[in-house]
Structure formats: structure tokens, C-alpha cells
């Protein structure tokens, strides 16, 4: 794993970061093979009772997960599991296969420790992912599946589009995330509006509530929503008993960047840290019992702990993983153990939402 420091300059030398990403996926496929996975497990696992908790009915050995979008096609879940994550999220997946937006569609902002992407839900479709996951050897940590809308599907038919994917993938996910907040599919963020969102949530929860095994349905929201829009989302979460919320997706804001860029797309990484934490804090204040997965700008244990104290029970990394490499999960988990010990908490669940609530 320490080889990352040596190979990072090579990976970052590619003009198109997507080339480096695909190369990293090839390494992770190898890491998932039995002898390599055993070695990776030995190097990366942090097994500590203080980090274990149950959230929306699932058991997590630690709170650090990988956000949707890294392993869109569910190809390297075994390799990622070996890196010490507490849970993984694959996708975003759509009903129909689609190529996404033209390349180049990923841009590093090294000065800001940020990434802009406009991938556009490139994936092979729900049926292909279902077939791949049906042949996957057992994963010992929770697997989430992020669901999106096919680009060619009109907004009025969005709910049925999401339902198709949920029905086909239901046997293979431990939880499902309704992604209505990516900025890279035209009109998708309109689905965060009350009318569309109610229809989607109602249809998906109706399906989940009427099968033998109910699985958690979560909602992933944008960091750019107004207070009024967040309140509408939370009203729907309350009325339909949504199982949890993921806060947040990427931002369209370019405020405060050192890098000069005109590239369109969603911005992730360090520039998103404060904004996503603010949204988490507000949601927790309004609905303290609603489980939150906090995402946005997590590079260190302190970053993760900030989101946990703001109200997140779990956290996800993405850009930090790309910049810091495979040992970041161990570093965050070890750091969290020390921070919990410093503050007198026996379990991470005790630290959730302990920060004084600030107004948004």
C-alpha cells in the first residue's frame, strides 16, 4: 500500500484523470484476488469496538464508506473491501445502459484538493449490474447501490425508471440510495422538487415495504439546496418514513477556489467540506432521529469527526481516497479511535450530533 506514494506521480501524470482511474480499477481487481486480499486486509483493517454500530438496521464495523461513483459498475468490490472500508456504494446505475458525457469529463484541481466531474451516469444498466452482482463472492460489509434516472427518460416517467432498477437490483444491495442530486444529467436536480420526489419515494418505498425482506431506502441530496428546499425534502422523508439521507452530492459552486477553471460539472473534495457539514448540521437539528451519511471533503480523521459531531452516523470518502490513496481508510479509522478516546466516548454513536447546533 505504501507503493501509492511512488506511483501517485505516474497516476497524476495522465492528462485525462479517467485513464488513471481505470488503471486504479485494474489494480483493485488484483487486490480482490485471494492472496492479495489477505495481505491488504492485514495492512488496512482497524478492528475496534468503539467504531462498530448499527445504522438503519445494518451492522457496520466502522463508519468509513466509499461514495457512489468510484466503482460505478460493481467491478472491484472485493478489492475495495480489502482496504478496510466499513461499507461500499456502487453505481450510480440507471435502468438503461448509457455512455455518459463525452471525455474529457474529469478534472483535478490539485491546488484545491478538488475534482470536477461531469461523467453523466455512464454505466451498463441495471440488468448488467444485477447479473454481475449475482456472481460476486460474498462481501462481508454492507453494499449500497446508488440509483439514478436514465438520461433519455422524461421527468414524468422518472419514478418508473428508478423502480425498474430497484426491482432488478434488490436481491444484491443491503441499502439503496435514490440519487436525484447529480448535476450532470439534464433536469435531474428538478427531481428534488416536492411533486417529483414524492412520486419516486412513494413508489420505491411501496415496493420495499411489500417484499419479504425490507431494505433501507436512502435519499441523496445536493449541497446547493435552499433552506426551504431542504425543509420540503425533510417533510417527505418524515411523511414516507425514508430510512436515511446522504448529504451531500457534488456542488455547482466555484466559490473560494484557487484554481482557475471554467469546466462544467460537480465539484467534490476539500472545497465542499464546510458546505456539506453545514447541511448535515441543519438536517440533524430538524430531524435528530434520521440517520445521515455525511459526504464531502473528508481527507482526515478530523474531517470525518467534524461531520459525525454535526450529525452524521456514517461518512463516505471519494476525492480524499483519490488524493491520499488506499491507506486513507486506516488512517481515518485509527484517528477516530483516538478522537473518541480523547473526548470520553466509548462508541462512535455517542459522538453523533454532539456539536452545538449553528443556524444555517
Domain extents in the chain: 4-351
- Decide yes or no: CATH 3.20.20.70 for domain 4-351: yes
User: pTM (2 decimals)?
Assistant: 0.94
The per-residue pLDDT string of the chain (360 residues; one tens digit each, 9 = 90 and over) reads 455 565 677 678 788 999 999 988 988 988 888 777 787 887 898 999 999 999 999 999 999 999 999 999 999 999 999 999 999 999 999 999 999 999 999 999 999 999 999 999 999 999 999 999 999 988 999 999 999 999 999 999 999 999 999 999 999 999 999 999 998 898 888 899 888 999 999 999 999 999 999 999 999 999 999 999 999 999 999 999 999 999 999 999 999 999 989 999 999 999 999 999 999 999 999 999 999 999 999 999 999 999 999 999 999 999 999 999 999 999 999 999 999 999 999 999 999 999 855 433
Q: Rounded to whole angstroms, how far apart are CA atoms 82 and 192?
A: 35
- Counting every residue written for the chain, the total comes to 360
What amino acid positions are annotated as catalytic residues? 182
Question: How confident is the model at residue 358, as a pLDDT?
Answer: 47
Cα–Cα dist 99/43, whole Å: 36
Q: Give dist(CA 116, CA 316) in Å, integer.
A: 17
Q: Give me 275's grid cell.
A: 458546505
pLDDT score, position 357: 52
Amino acid at each position: 500500500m505504501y507503493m501509492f506514494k511512488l506511483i501517485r506521480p505516474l497516476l497524476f501524470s495522465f492528462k485525462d484523470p479517467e485513464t488513471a482511474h481505470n488503471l486504479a480499477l485494474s489494480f483493485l481487481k488484483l487486490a480482490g484476488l485471494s492472496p492479495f486480499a489477505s495481505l491488504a486486509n492485514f495492512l488496512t483493517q482497524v478492528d475496534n469496538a468503539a467504531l462498530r454500530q448499527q445504522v438503519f438496521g445494518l451492522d457496520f464495523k466502522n463508519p468509513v464508506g466509499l461514495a457512489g461513483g468510484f466503482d460505478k459498475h460493481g467491478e472491484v468490490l472485493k478489492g475495495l473491501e480489502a482496504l478496510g472500508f466499513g461499507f461500499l456504494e456502487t453505481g450510480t446505475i440507471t435502468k438503461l445502459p448509457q455512455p455518459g458525457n463525452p471525455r474529457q469529463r474529469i478534472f483535478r484541481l490539485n491546488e484545491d484538493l478538488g475534482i470536477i466531474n461531469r461523467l453523466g451516469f455512464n454505466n451498463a444498466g441495471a440488468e448488467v449490474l444485477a447479473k454481475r452482482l449475482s456472481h460476486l463472492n460474498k462481501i462481508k460489509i454492507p453494499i449500497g447501490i446508488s440509483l439514478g434516472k436514465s438520461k433519455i427518460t422524461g421527468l414524468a416517467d422518472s419514478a418508473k425508471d428508478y423502480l425498474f432498477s430497484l426491482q432488478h437490483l434488490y436481491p444484491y444491495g443491503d441499502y439503496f440510495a435514490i440519487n436525484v442530486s447529480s448535476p450532470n444529467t439534464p433536469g435531474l436536480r428538478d427531481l428534488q422538487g416536492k411533486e417529483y420526489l414524492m412520486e419516486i419515494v412513494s413508489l420505491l418505498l411501496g415496493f420495499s415495504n411489500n417484499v419479504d425482506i425490507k431494505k433501507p431506502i436512502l435519499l441523496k441530496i445536493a449541497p446547493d439546496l435552499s433552506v426551504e428546499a431542504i425543509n420540503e425534502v425533510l417533510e417527505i422523508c418524515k411523511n414516507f418514513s425514508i430510512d436515511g439521507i446522504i448529504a451531500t452530492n457534488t456542488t455547482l459552486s466555484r466559490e473560494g477556489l484557487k484554481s482557475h477553471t471554467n469546466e462544467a460539472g460537480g465539484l467534490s473534495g476539500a472545497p465542499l467540506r464546510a458546505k456539506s457539514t453545514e447541511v448535515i448540521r441543519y438536517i440533524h437539528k430538524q430531524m435528530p432521529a434520521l440517520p445521515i451519511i455525511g459526504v464531502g471533503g473528508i481527507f482526515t480523521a478530523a474531517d470525518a469527526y467534524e461531520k459525525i459531531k454535526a450529525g452524521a452516523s456514517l461518512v463516505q470518502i471519494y476525492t480524499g481516497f483519490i488524493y491520499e490513496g488506499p491507506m486513507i481508510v486506516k488512517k481515518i479509522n485509527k484517528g477516530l479511535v483516538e478522537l473518541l478516546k480523547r473526548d470520553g466516548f466509548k462508541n462512535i454513536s455517542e459522538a453523533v450530533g454532539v456539536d452545538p447546533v449553528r443556524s444555517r
